[in-house]
Structure 1
Amino acid sequence: MADSWASSQATRASMRSNRRRDTRPELLVRKSLHSMGYGYRVDFAPLADQRRLKADIVFPGARVAVFIDGCFWHGCPKHYRPSRTNAEFWRSKVEGNKVRDARSDDTLRAARWTVLRFWEHDDPDGVARYIARTVDDHRLYRR
């Protein structure tokens, strides 16, 4: 484990088990959207030339990209608590995620996409209703 970023084998196992997609908050929002009759793409790259830039939920026709950010990984101002173990690594990791998120938002907006970001603690049904209104507005606007 000498080359590992983790402070312990248990930490490494825990962090490796975190999902990149299909997290509980994402699934709850998707379930709500589906029950309202909305179709969407999951873990999808909105821009063909930016394959690494993937949004959690995408509405290609309306050009709406949705991200549901984890409080720890993206530095939620309400819930983020810095790690006490390997603190500098995690501070740098979270700050890098914030910079990448801002860059992704800028890239999508420059390509005329609407970007919606929510926190994992946001009410899934409220998030789904907001997304639905935004998608509907963009579909009407594009006609």
Structure 2
Amino acid sequence: MADFLSKTGRSKLMSTIRSSGNKDTELRLITIFRAHRITGWRRNFKLPGKPDFVFPAHRLAVFVDGCYWHGCPVHYRRPKSNRKFWDAKIARNRQRDREVNRLLKARGWRVFRVWEHALTRKNETRTVARIARAIDG
């Protein structure tokens, strides 16, 4: 189906839509935290890069990275169309992740990134162990 908006019009419309995070993956991590009695985390904590979860007492920022949007080396599949655009988009996302990591570390925070696929039931035990190690420092 052809787009009824011009490229400029579509860009303007899309720029008005604000993301509120990936709700499914964040809710899944909350479920894991609660099931394993991991406490002390906060959401919507004011830090650069907008971490999904923050453990203020441990100065730990947690990001849940979607396999598609952050270019997971295991699960990311390049789209067959408009490859130049998508390659640049994913590269920018990954570069921004590195910049946020550096900025938070420079401010004395530790950064923990979890891939979306690590939140499956199959990987839950390993993910919980990694989170516990990160919290303990």
What is the aligned residue count?
122
Task: Give yes or no for the alignment of 1:23 onto 2:27.
Answer: no
Pairing of 1:3-22 with structure 2 (within 5 A): 3=7, 4=10, 20-22=20-22
- Residue 90 (structure 1) shift: 1.2
TM-score by length of 1: 0.73
Q: Does residue 45 of the first structure (1) align with residue 83 of the second (2)?
A: no
TM-score, structure 2 normalization: 0.76
- 1-structure distance, mates of 2:34, 2:102: 28
Q: Which residue does 2:6 correspond to in 1?
A: 2
Tell whether 2:94 aligns with 1:98. yes
Partner of 1:55: 51
- Seen in structure 2, the aligned counterparts of structure 1 residues 84 and 106 have a Cα distance that, compared at 3 Å, is same
What is the DSSP-based 3-state SS (H/G/I as helix, E as strand, rest coil) of the residue aligned with 2:33? helix
Pair 1:80-2:81 in alignment = no
Q: Given the alignment of the two structures, is residue 107 of structure 1 paired with residue 103 of structure 2, yes or no?
A: yes
Runs (4 or more) in structure 1 with deviation over 3 Å come to none
The answer as to whether partners of 1:74 and 1:98 remain within 8 angstroms in 2 is yes
Unaligned regions of 5+ residues in structure 2, if any? Answer: none
Q: Which residue of 2 aligns with 1:69?
A: 65
Change beyond 3 A, Cα 1:20–1:90? farther
Secondary structure of the structure 2 residue equivalent to 1:41: coil
- Identity percentage of aligned residues: 36
Distance 2:113 2:38 in 1: 21
Q: CA RMSD in A?
A: 2.3
Aligned to 1:8: none
Letter in 2 for 1:120: E
- Corresponding residue for residue 133 of structure 2: 133
- Give unmatched runs, 5+ long, in structure 1: 6-11, 139-143
SS of equivalent to 1:21? coil
